[in-house]
Amino acid sequence: MSVTTKAIQSIRSMIVAGELAPGDRLPPEQELADRLGVSRGSLREAVRALSQINVLDVRRGDGTYVTNLVPSELLAGMVFAMELFQAKGIDEVLEVRQLLLPPAAALAAQRVTESQLAQMHGVIDQLERSTDPDEVDLLHDQFASLVYDACGNETLAAILRALQLSGEHARRARHDAEPDRRHIALAHQKMLLDAIERGDGDMAKSVSVVQVERRRRGVERPRAGAPSERPRARTASTR
């Protein structure tokens, strides 16, 4: 184990043990280096590494502080990681989405707030009026984000946001360009909202399973060079 890695693990242990809480200022550099048994250079490398993953906040002329440690910031690096995975591991990313999205929808049905429901209804109202493919796609993502938040688990919500795939907006916009497809996607969002509003976790999970499968096909079809499928009926596909 390198000295820098040892320093990183020591600082992490201090945070986990509660010796350093969110917002706390780290001890002066020399004092902390002596306490950890490392050089000031190794400590600086450790601090730099932890600041890059949003654990520490280095403020010039003021000191180094523990960040608020909220999952959305700590997991921000996953977005970059997901982009790298897409180059050679997109199937694994899609599989993780299939595993996490339906249970998150079920949790949302149990934990959604009145305010979140009102926002969801607002997005659905906009979807019913909009005909611009790009706007429609962004509204669907906004609705999904509200569902993530409604699951009541910040860590899960942050992971789900990180699992959005680069270029997916354009692919879905093309896939949903036909009015029939837009109607199908909207119909299933309404079904999901209805299940969440009624607190029906099983139905919310079932609707989300179909949505995830449709998104998977929308991502895989352009990659495979397959021709665009023709909608057969308004109950066959979903978003």
- Asked whether residue 229 is domain-assigned, the answer is no
| Contact predicate 195/204, CB 8 Å | yes
- Report the C-alpha gap between 175 and 234 in whole angstroms: 15
Residue type, 142: Q
- Asked whether residue 236 is domain-assigned, the answer is no
206, 177: one domain: yes
User: Hey, what are 73's tokens?
Assistant: 């910031």
Residue type, 219: V
- Report the C-alpha gap between 65 and 41 in whole angstroms: 18
- Cβ-proximal residues to 87 (8 Å cutoff; 6+ apart), any chain: none
Cα torsion at 169, 181, 93, 205 (round to 10°)?
130
Burial 5-27 (b: 16+ CB within 10 A, else e): eebbebbeebbeeeebeeeeebb
Domain residues for the domain of 25 are 3-69
142, 205: one domain: yes
pLDDT tens string 56-104: 999 988 999 999 888 767 776 666 666 666 555 667 777 888 899 999 9
- The pLDDT score that the predictor gives to residue 169 is 47
Residue type, 206: S
119, 64: one domain: no
154, 81: one domain: yes
pLDDT tens string 3-50: 999 999 999 999 999 999 999 999 999 999 999 999 999 999 999 999
40, 155: one domain: no
Last residue in a domain, options 23, 54, 69: 69
- Asked whether residue 206 is domain-assigned, the answer is yes
Cα torsion at 46, 52, 57, 61 (round to 10°)?
70
- Report the C-alpha gap between 74 and 69 in whole angstroms: 6
Last residue in a domain, options 23, 43, 69: 69
91, 120: one domain: yes
- Asked whether residue 196 is domain-assigned, the answer is yes
Higher pLDDT, 226 or 157: 157
Domain count, the chain: 2
